[in-house]
Amino acid sequence: MKLMHSTSFVFRVWHQFAQEWRAQWFLVLLWLAALATGCWQTFLEELPEIAMPGSLPALLAMIIIVRSVRADAPGNAEAVSHVRPLGRGAVWLAKVLFFKVAMLLPWLACAWPECRGYGFGPVEWMAEIAGRVLPAVLLGAGTALGASWRGVVWKNGTLIGSGVAGLGLMAWKFGTKMPKDADRCVLVVAGLVLGLTLLLAWWQSTMTRRAWMTLTVGGLAVMLVVKLGHWNWRAQPDRMYADAKLALHFGERPEGAVQELWEGMYVTGLPADHVASVVAFAPVDEAWPPKKAFSDYKMLLGENGHWNQRRPWKMRMAYTHALVPHYPAGSLWHKVEDTEQVKTLKEIVESDLSRPWRMRLAVQRMKRVVTMPLGAAIRGEKRIVLDAGRRLDFQIGVLNDYSEMKFWAMLRRRFPLLAPGSEQERLQVAGDLTEEAFLVLLHSPGIREVCTAGEWHRGDENYWSGDELLHRFNNRPVAFSFVHPRAQMDIAGLKFEDWVDETTLDVWWPEERGVIDVEISGEELRRAVEGK
């Protein structure tokens, strides 16, 4: 006759864990397959015609949780949880561990293939993980609580009614648009409180069948957080550019290294590789910063007459000019695109020459991100990390039709929104983030040429911005185009292959160095407009 031995808590937890696996293994495998498919779909440029619904992994997770929790829920009359010799605590902990190992860990592991290659640092990785844990805990704990809950009708009704009313209030407060950073941080804290509340309530519901009070207190705490919370760790204060040498010059172009903002207005004292751009310009007594900015930035009019919400940043000639010292003197610098027409200073300030104006200059430093032989660039897809969370994927699109060489590129942005904003996010124009810009050029020393290609707007068709509450996703299709050196080919017999062999492709990226506000008197403006 065998005697029963008292078993340790750890063993009982392990026993229940194994029990869960035996009961759920098929669904867990299904869940892993759905997770892998979802992960694979994120790599596709275009989803298959019948793509896996994005909600399927969440649906499967909920089914697993409901099945698992219901099997031992205290409110489930068919279950034998009350007489099981394991103890409710061990059962609960085993389920928590099972959900973590079977579902949460694989879900977190998906972050690795999805985010790899975006130049994430430790902060971004931690924020990415936290951004995945929070919704998982909310969904998991909420589902588990719901599955183990057993209350009288009026209590259930009150609970559901309160939940709907809470959601309604949230919707009214935040609108149905994606919240801005300040609201996002408050919602994250509220989500954290809610997640802990649900987890605690589930534990209480399992152990004592009394979670009513916890839910009420937790719900009130969430509402208080939403109403009174003022956190914003994402906000980045304007970084001021502090270089005493930078100054504005009005009138005739001065000698030496200067950058022209408009004819008659110049920036002096910029260090090498640095470029200044006007991001705000308005009379001193008007709202600051103004809604309109005057250089390097434009609005796009989308299809059907909608103003597009995108704010592309245009690389003007000044950016190219800053690169000249990096290449042999005497090179012919040319580009395919048209020169951007900007409003003249006179057109902007003419009506208000009597009052002083304020100008905000953003200073950027051009940084060479990569240099590669053109021959390598036209073979296969290339991936370049521009900045943490920004990646440029490009490949050759048109090689020699009509002497064109066009690269199709995708500027991918993927950033965890729990992390503080990046350097690039410090700069806002008219209250909005601008779209990133970069510069690609071909250097052919043999024919003394540098051909630059700013990005070409490829329309909105494949543009995709899928910002979520905790993650930013943005795929921006761009193209950059060069021309073959036809003069050398037609006159001097240069072969296309020889040109490719001796040419390199460089990618330059503007790094934010800060902004500087300057005040311009009416007299100085007049001098600038008159060019004297």
Partner 1 sequence: MHQFCKEFRYLRMRWCVFLVVLALDLAMQMEWVLPMRSVEGGYNAGVNVSYEILMMALLWMVAWWFMLSVPPEEGASGGRGYALTRPLSPVSYWAARLLVWVLLVMVPLMLECAVYLWLNGRPWSDVVLGMMERAWAVGSMTLWLLPLPLLLRGWERYAMIVLVVFSLEEWNGQVLWVVFKLLHLVYDRPQVGMEFGRSVQAAWLVGILMPVLVVWHQRRPFGRVARMSAVACLLLLYQGVAGSSLFIESYEKPRDQELISKLTAGREVVIPERDRHFSQGDEAPGGKYIDFTAHAMLAGMPDEFVPHWRATATSMMQNGRVMPAPPEQWGQTRRQPSYMVGYLCQSYPMASALPGAKVPGMLSMDMDAKAQNMQFRLSQPPQVEAPVSTHVDLTAEWMRLNKLGEIPIKVGAQFKVPDFEIELLEVKLNSDGQGGSAPGCVAVVYRMSARCFEWRNALLPLLPNVFLVSPKNRFMWQFAIHSGHEQARGANLGWCHMIEQRAFQRVLEHGTGVTPENLAEQRLVWLKPEYLGSSQHEMEMKDLKIGGYLMNREGWPRSRPATEAGNPREAFLRQVRSLPRPAEGAARAEIARYVAEVYEASAVFNERTHRINDGEPKWPGNDREVCVLLAPFLVEHADIFKAALAHDSADLTMGVMHELVLQAGIPGITRSEKTGGPRYEREVPVAGKPGQVRKRVMETLWLSSWRADDLDAYMAAIRQHSDEPLWPLMDDKPRSTDEVLADYAKSFDRGYLRWLMKRPDVKYREEAERLTREAFSQLPAVVTLERGYERPLYAAVALGMPEALDWLLRGVAMKEDDRARGAMMQHHAMFASLEQGQPDTKTLLQFLHDARRYSAKDYRYDATKMIWELRPERP
Note the residues at the interface with partner 1 (CB under 8 A).
49-53, 55-56, 59, 66, 153-154, 157, 160-161, 164, 171-172, 175-178, 260, 291-292, 301, 304-307, 309, 317, 320-321, 324, 329-330, 332-339, 402-404, 430, 447-452, 483-488, 490-494
Q: Minimum distance between the CB of residue 333 and partner 1, rounded to whole angstroms?
A: 4
Q: Minimum distance between the CB of residue 336 and partner 1, rounded to whole angstroms?
A: 6
Task: Determine the Cα–Cα distance for residues 280 and 290; give it in Å rounded to an integer.
Answer: 6
Instruction: Name the residue nearer to partner 1 (CB basis): 324 or 376.
Output: 324
Token pair of 111 as six digits: 């972050």
Instruction: Name the residue nearer to partner 1 (CB basis): 199 or 453.
Output: 453
Instruction: Name the residue nearer to partner 1 (CB basis): 252 or 523.
Output: 252
Instruction: Name the residue nearer to partner 1 (CB basis): 136 or 322.
Output: 322
Instruction: Name the residue nearer to partner 1 (CB basis): 229 or 289.
Output: 289
Q: Is 170 exposed, middle or buried (0-12, 13-18, 19+ CB in 10 A)?
A: middle
Task: Determine the Cα–Cα distance for residues 140 and 63; give it in Å rounded to an integer.
Answer: 10
Q: Minimum distance between the CB of residue 124 and partner 1, rounded to whole angstroms?
A: 26
Task: Determine the Cα–Cα distance for residues 414 and 131; give it in Å rounded to an integer.
Answer: 13
Instruction: Name the residue nearer to partner 1 (CB basis): 90 or 450.
Output: 450
Instruction: Name the residue nearer to partner 1 (CB basis): 6 or 55.
Output: 55
Task: Determine the Cα–Cα distance for residues 324 and 107; give it in Å rounded to an integer.
Answer: 48
Q: Minimum distance between the CB of residue 264 and partner 1, rounded to whole angstroms?
A: 14
Task: Determine the Cα–Cα distance for residues 263 and 522; give it in Å rounded to an integer.
Answer: 17
Q: Minimum distance between the CB of residue 118 and partner 1, rounded to whole angstroms?
A: 26
Cα dihedral: 72, 75, 77, 82 (round 10):
60
Q: Minimum distance between the CB of residue 422 and partner 1, rounded to whole angstroms?
A: 23
Task: Determine the Cα–Cα distance for residues 128 and 130; give it in Å rounded to an integer.
Answer: 5
Q: Minimum distance between the CB of residue 128 and partner 1, rounded to whole angstroms?
A: 24
Rounded to whole angstroms, what are the CA distances from 113 to 125, 358, 384, 477?
12, 47, 16, 22
Q: Minimum distance between the CB of residue 208 and partner 1, rounded to whole angstroms?
A: 24
Instruction: Name the residue nearer to partner 1 (CB basis): 486 or 532.
Output: 486
Instruction: Name the residue nearer to partner 1 (CB basis): 93 or 144.
Output: 144
Is 389:117 a contact under the CB 8 Å cutoff? no
Nearest to 292 by CA among 122, 486, 429: 429
Rounded to whole angstroms, what are the CA distances from 445 to 9, 267, 308, 396, 498?
74, 31, 41, 22, 12
Angle between helices 9-43 and 56-72 (to 10 degrees): 170
Q: Within 10 Å of residue 473's Cβ, how many Cβ atoms?
A: 14
Q: Minimum distance between the CB of residue 117 and partner 1, rounded to whole angstroms?
A: 29
Name every residue whose Cβ is closer than 8 Å to that of residue 55 and which is 6 or more positions away in sequence. Answer: none
Rounded to whole angstroms, what are the CA distances from 90 to 67, 93, 105?
18, 5, 21
